[in-house]
Amino acid sequence: MIKTTSGPYWVMYDNECSLCYRITRIFKKFDLFNKIQWIDKNWEGDFPEEGRRRITKTVVLYNPLDRDLYFKSEAISKIMLCVPFGFLFSWILRVPGLSIFFDWIYDKVSENRMKINS
Domain boundaries, the chain: 2-116
What pLDDT is attached to residue 102?
94
Q: Which residue has the higher pLDDT, 84 or 6?
A: 84
17 neighbors 45 (Cβ within 8 angstroms): no
Give the predicted TM-score (pTM) of the model. 0.86
Report the distance separating Cα 24 and Cα 28, nearest Å.
6
Q: What is the pLDDT of residues 42-100, one digit of tens each?
A: 999 889 999 999 998 899 999 999 999 999 999 999 999 988 888 999 999 999 999 99
pLDDT at 118 over 60: no
| 10 DSSP assignment | E
Identify the pLDDT of residue 75: 94
Tell me which of 4-8, 37-41, 79-83, 101-105 is least confident: 4-8
Q: Is 56 exposed, middle or buried (0-12, 13-18, 19+ CB in 10 A)?
A: exposed
> What pLDDT, on a 0 to 100 scale, did the predictor assign at position 7?
76
Residue type, 47: F
* d(C-alpha 107, C-alpha 64), whole Å: 25
Whole-angstrom CA distances from 30 to 23, 27, 97, 104 are: 11, 5, 28, 26
Query: What are the pLDDT digits (tens) for 15-36?
Result: 888 888 888 899 999 988 989 9
